[in-house]
Every structure is written in C-alpha cells, then in structure tokens.
A = this chain, B = another copy of it.
C-alpha cells in the first residue's frame, strides 16, 4: 500500500506532461499555464487510493485520476470567471492573465480532454465510470449554481447550505474514491461505502474549514482568521447561528452584516459563542468523521489495506484545535 505522499509523487510524474497540442497556442497555452500552477492533487490521489484498496494500482486508475484532475481544473477556471477571482494559489487566474473568452474556451477544451483520458480505460468498466463521472460533474455544476443563487438570497436554511456544499465539494471527493474502486473491481456495497466515506469526510473537512476561519489559532491557521465573517460569507457557523439565535441575537447578527463595524469579527464571534456554535460545529464535525470511519470499516477488505485512507482522514481532520 502506498502513502498519500508516495502517490502524489507518482501521479505528478504522469500528470506533469503536455496534455494539449501546441496549436492554437492562444487556446492551449492558458490551459498548460493553469495546470502548472499546481495544487494538492487530493482528488486524483483519492482515486488511486480507492483503487489500491481493492487491487494493485492499474494504469486505468491513473487515466481516471488524470481525468478527475483535469475536470477539477476545468471547474476552477470557470468558477474563477464567475466569481471574478483574480488570484488562484497566488497566481493570476486564466481570465485575468488572458481574457474571459479564452478562459471560457480553455475550460471547455480541458473538460473534453478529461473524457479523452476516460476513453483510454478498458471497456469492461467504461460505462460505470462515465456514468458516475457525468453524474458527479453535473452535481458540481448544480452546487456552483446554488452557491451563486444563495449569494443573492436573503435567507438560506442550514439544510439548503448543506446540500449545496455537498454538491459543490464533497461529491467529487466521494466519486474520486469510488471511481478508483470501480476500476479495482469492487462490488456495489463496497463502492457505496467508499463513496460515503468520502462524502462524510468532505463534509467534516468543510465544517472544520468554516470553524478554523472563525475560531482557529491565527498562528497555526494559514488564512486570515475572521475572513468569512468580514465578507459576510454564508458558512455552516453563520447559518446555524441564525437558526438557533434569539430574536435579539438575530437582529444583532443582521445589523453586523449590514453595517460592517470595526469590531465586527469579535462581536460576531461572541454571538457564535453565546449560541454555542463552536461546540455545535465540533460536534457535527465529529459526527461526520465518525460516519466516515464507519463506512471505511464496513468495506470488506482487510484493515491493513485501509490504513493509508484512515491516516489521510486523520491528517485532514485534526481532532484537537
């Protein structure tokens, strides 16, 4: 069994090649630029780990892993256009460095390229792979649309937000694992368990991300603490607070959102604490993580094969803050 780091090395070797023709450079060079920005490559590695859970890693798993990473980058390029983001991992986004039209087309052609890699795999699993890949791709688009819709909506329920974040981020993590498992010959029950492991792990990670943005130790947390609060971002914490707050607290939250006072972050954090949002967030993160582990345990392979996935989950989700 290979560790995450070992697989990143091997994947990188196979991914950092030229995926596109040279002509027209105006179309393909931007795609090569964006892939060169790098990334943690979590999704393709999950595909490889899902594969190795059931079998020795095959070339087909690498083909699908590359397809997943190309698909993920396609969504980033298009999301950056929609969000008008100028930077991604500290580098210029495609539409900023080039222009919006080129970024649009460059995303389109990257998506098509993803299907080229899928088309390399053995016919035996191709239909199941395309079916899950397409379902997931459509869900990611749905998640992005809901995210944009929610930005314009005055109120969003916790359940709606949960569904949006599941579609926008967790389904691709879950599907990456399951795609690897399908190629590894896993049966339906095992495929479903690994999918649900990924789905729950993704949600635990997202809740942790929201938590750390508000309550994290600025010295340990890479990002600027309180950024979500300053930007009025709808997060698990804010939406839960709005649901459990007293009428007075709710009025205060809304006032903070609309008036942007200097001490907004501290005041919002105080309300969050008064509403026990911090303890609640830790609890549901634990719940999702435990659910994830339960599904991992239920997979019908020896425990030793699961160690790397279990270690990855522990690495992604720190239990102490």
1/0 per position for A103-143, CB-CB distance to B under 8 A?
01101110111011011000100110011001001100110
The residues of B that contact A104 with a CB separation of less than 8 Å are 78, 81-82, 104
Are A119 and B127 interface neighbours, CB within 8 A? yes
Whether A101 sits at the interface, judged by CB under 8 Å, is: yes
Binds B, one of A145-153, A217-225, A272-280: A145-153
CB-nearest residue of chain B relative to A75? B108
Interface size on A, residues (CB 8 A): 36
Are B126 and A26 interface neighbours, CB within 8 A? no
Q: Contact partner of A108 among B78, B101, B102, B131, CB < 8 A?
A: B78
Most buried by B among A24, A82, A107: A24
Most buried by B among A109, A144, A146: A109
Are A145 and B112 interface neighbours, CB within 8 A? no
Whether A27 sits at the interface, judged by CB under 8 Å, is: yes
1/0 per position for A82-116, CB-CB distance to B under 8 A?
10000000000000000001101101110111011
> If A24-B145, A119-B131, A145-B24 touch, does A111 touch B111 (CB 8 Å cutoff)?
yes
Q: Tell me the dominant secondary structure on chain A's binding face.
A: helix
Give Cα distance in the complex from A134 to B152, angstroms.
36
CB-nearest residue of chain B relative to A27? B145
The residues of B that contact A148 with a CB separation of less than 8 Å are 101-102
The residues of B that contact A107 with a CB separation of less than 8 Å are 108
Are B130 and A27 interface neighbours, CB within 8 A? no
Give Cα distance in the complex from A149 to B102, angstroms.
10
Give Cα distance in the complex from A26 to B24, angstroms.
34
Q: Contact partner of A27 among B113, B116, B126, B141, CB < 8 A?
A: B141
CB-nearest residue of chain B relative to A164? B24
Are B112 and A149 interface neighbours, CB within 8 A? no
Give Cα distance in the complex from A130 to B129, angstroms.
14
Are B78 and A146 interface neighbours, CB within 8 A? no
Q: Contact partner of A146 among B24, B109, B115, B138, CB < 8 A?
A: B24
Q: Contact partner of A111 among B24, B27, B108, B123, CB < 8 A?
A: B108
- Apart from A82-B104, A116-B134, A126-B127, list 12 A-B contacts with CB within 8 A: A26-B145, A27-B142, A27-B145, A78-B108, A81-B104, A82-B101, A101-B148, A102-B148, A112-B134, A115-B130, A115-B134, A123-B123
- 14 sampled A-B residue pairs with Cβ under 8 A: A78-B105, A81-B101, A101-B148, A102-B145, A102-B148, A107-B108, A109-B138, A109-B141, A111-B111, A112-B137, A112-B141, A115-B134, A116-B134, A123-B126
